Structure 1
Amino acid sequence: MIKEIINEIKNADTILVAGHIMPDGDDLSSVTSMVMGLEKIGKKVVGVIDDEIPEYLSGFEAINKCVRDFDCAKNNPADLIIIVDASSPDRVGRVQDLFEYKRVIVIDHHATNLNYGNINWVVPESASAAQLVLEVLKELNVEYDEELATINLLGIATDTGFFKYSNTNSKVFTDAAYLVDKGANLNKITNQILENKPIEHIKLMKDVLEEMRFEFDNKLAYSTVSLEMLNKYGIEQKDTPPFVGDLRSLRGVEVAIMYNQAKDNEYHISMRSKSWFDVSEVAVHFGGGGHKKAAGFSYKTDNIEELMKKVSNFIGEKL
């Protein structure tokens, strides 16, 4: 499969690289790394995310240089589209409107991927999409420098919870070591991601804890972030902190859920499990996707209480 991808890249003059909406570290790392790597071999490349970049990731200059909005995609026609870290076409926003006219390569590590490209390289065993990008760039004999190595490592570090999640295997450490040998600055990544929390986020966390609920002998914990709560502390919706990990860290909790309001009557639901529960089954049931221990979906409703009850009932049948 990777040889087919390499042939497509070599035969294309202009390439569009796109990631998913509501971008995270792995998504932006993968798009940026692919753009930088392809530029190093002389390709004309445009990186696109059809969404705003969270503040905590905008501190990486490479991301700011390489990632543009959808209008840039419309104004720069490409021979080939490479989609990274997106399990379904709706996850790339308006970029999917271009699929009908272009060759599409999908590079992803979500088991729920719908294989919607002309070429689909989906490796659920990979801890991050950034590792798959690394394999492609190595196959293309891209020469890594400190900036490219650092931004590529960002995706591996964030999608493994800085090497503490269960997806952290020997391949993760091998790839991370390769990038560190090429000059990757892990300290820069940790300072930007882990040591850079705004005070407003800590204040918001107090409200999240007050809204927190438990069910099924405390095996399920969930809470909400409303637009009203965000406005209270002057936090933009795109910068909503990922409190779901904090809920999962509580003793006895197997499944944690955050219901984050995005707009009036629209929510983004983020789910995590600790040991054995497959939250991707829940996500797929409600129209989303993801991994066994990290998944999510978006849902339109004017009754969040009703949605929470539906989700809890579905989970309760399996807990």
Structure 2
Amino acid sequence: MTKFLSVVSELMSKDNVLVLGHVMPDGDDISSVACLAEGLRRLGKTARAGIDDQIAWYYKLFFAVDKIESFEQLQDFSPDLIVVVDCSSPDRVGRFQDLLKKAKLVVIDHHETNALFGDLNLVDVSSASTAQIVYNINKAMEVSYDPQLATTNLLGIMTDTGFFRYSNTDGNVLRTAAELVELGAQPYFVASTILENRTPEQFKLLEKMIEHMKVEDGLVYSWLSYEDYLSLGCTEDDSSGFVSELRSMKDIEVAILFTEFPEGEVHVSFRSKHWLNVSKIAAALGGGGHARAAGCSYKNVELNKVIDEVLRLTREALAGGRHETD
């Protein structure tokens, strides 16, 4: 509680704030960046938001997301406070990393793998999403919520709990979601926008993933190469959520999806169901995340070599975990 109040005090005391999210932004990251920056604006502060990566088109249908700027657009801004949200390590902010030492740095996150790289770190691993922490901060600062802001805030909570399907869905999450709905948030808009906007090309890409799928004892994995994306006119945004389709398979503990986009750049997404802590595997590979959802990235590599390395570590973790539970 002391760190929470310190962060609130720091935010209230500064007039020019830069809020940053991570590369390969997901719903929680985008929601957290947009909502914290908008909350500060509603308090009369100059707050700008930045993500050094492309934001998928469907996220731009949410209020305040269009105010998130690129690295190039923010070169003229000199903040007296920088806030990094939903990032476990400084390299995750991309090119913004070079700016982190130019002002006091606050880190707000919920990943257990967080490197605590801020001058002030609020890392609450009991929170299901960073958006949940942002809502509590905005509430403490007495930010006025309307249905639009409430819906964007709910976006982060719904996506990081798998639309309330994951094991991180607890009473606190549901109470926060209920508060946001009472403030006018529209859960059906969040669900339909994220889950029901797939194009015909995405279904064909999903078919490619299924064609490549391999199943072992407790493990399912698949991959999409750069050529797969190129052949269908798709980008990596079009495979968002595909790893969850793998995770849904019966009698599977862990699912892994390897995606190569652009060429030579491979991203690995892990999902587990019950007991395997995939964040430990991701951390060993230079990534991070949650116990049940994590990831890592590689550059200038061959897809097959990444698959071999990741599968070796995952098989070892599965075998070790089974041995411990025998």
CA distance, structure 2, for counterparts of residue 151 and residue 313 of structure 1 = 39
The answer for the alignment partner of 1:71 in structure 2 is 72
CA distance, structure 1, for counterparts of residue 31 and residue 260 of structure 2 = 25
Matches within 5 A, 1:25-40: 25-40=27-42
TM-score where L is the length of structure 2 = 0.94
Preserved CA contact (<8 Å) 2:235 2:261: no
Q: Does 1:282 align with 2:273?
A: no
- Structure 1: gaps of 5 or more residues: none
The answer for the alignment partner of 2:293 in structure 1 is 294
CA distance, structure 1, for counterparts of residue 301 and residue 150 of structure 2 = 45
SS, match of residue 222 in structure 2: strand
The answer for the alignment partner of 2:58 in structure 1 is 56
Q: Which region of structure 1 is more displaced relative to structure 2, 72-81 or 145-154?
A: 72-81
CA distance, structure 1, for counterparts of residue 43 and residue 182 of structure 2 = 21
CA distance, structure 1, for counterparts of residue 6 and residue 247 of structure 2 = 40
The answer for the alignment partner of 1:206 in structure 2 is 207
CA distance, structure 2, for counterparts of residue 91 and residue 303 of structure 1 = 22
1:59 partner letter: L
1:271 partner letter: F
Query: Post-superposition shift, 1:239?
Result: 3.5
SS, match of residue 176 in structure 1: helix
SS, match of residue 224 in structure 1: strand
TM-score where L is the length of structure 1 = 0.96
Preserved CA contact (<8 Å) 1:22 1:238: no
Cα deviation digits, residues 50-109 of structure 1 (max 9, x gap) = 000012212224211x21111222111111001110100011111111112110100000
SS, match of residue 317 in structure 1: helix
Matches within 5 A, 1:1-319: 1-64=3-66, 66-215=67-216, 217=217, 219-319=218-318
CA distance, structure 1, for counterparts of residue 142 and residue 34 of structure 2 = 17
Count of paired positions:
316
CA distance, structure 2, for counterparts of residue 112 and residue 150 of structure 1 = 28
Preserved CA contact (<8 Å) 1:268 1:296: yes
What RMSD in Å do the two structures reach over aligned CA positions? 1.2
Query: Post-superposition shift, 1:117?
Result: 0.4
Preserved CA contact (<8 Å) 2:150 2:184: yes
- Structure 2: gaps of 5 or more residues: 319-326
Cα deviation digits, residues 276-298 of structure 1 (max 9, x gap) = 11101110111100000000000
Cα deviation digits, residues 104-151 of structure 1 (max 9, x gap) = 100000000000000000011100000000111111011111111110
The answer for the alignment partner of 2:324 in structure 1 is none
Query: Post-superposition shift, 1:311?
Result: 1.5
CA distance, structure 1, for counterparts of residue 161 and residue 312 of structure 2 = 29
Query: Post-superposition shift, 1:301?
Result: 5.0
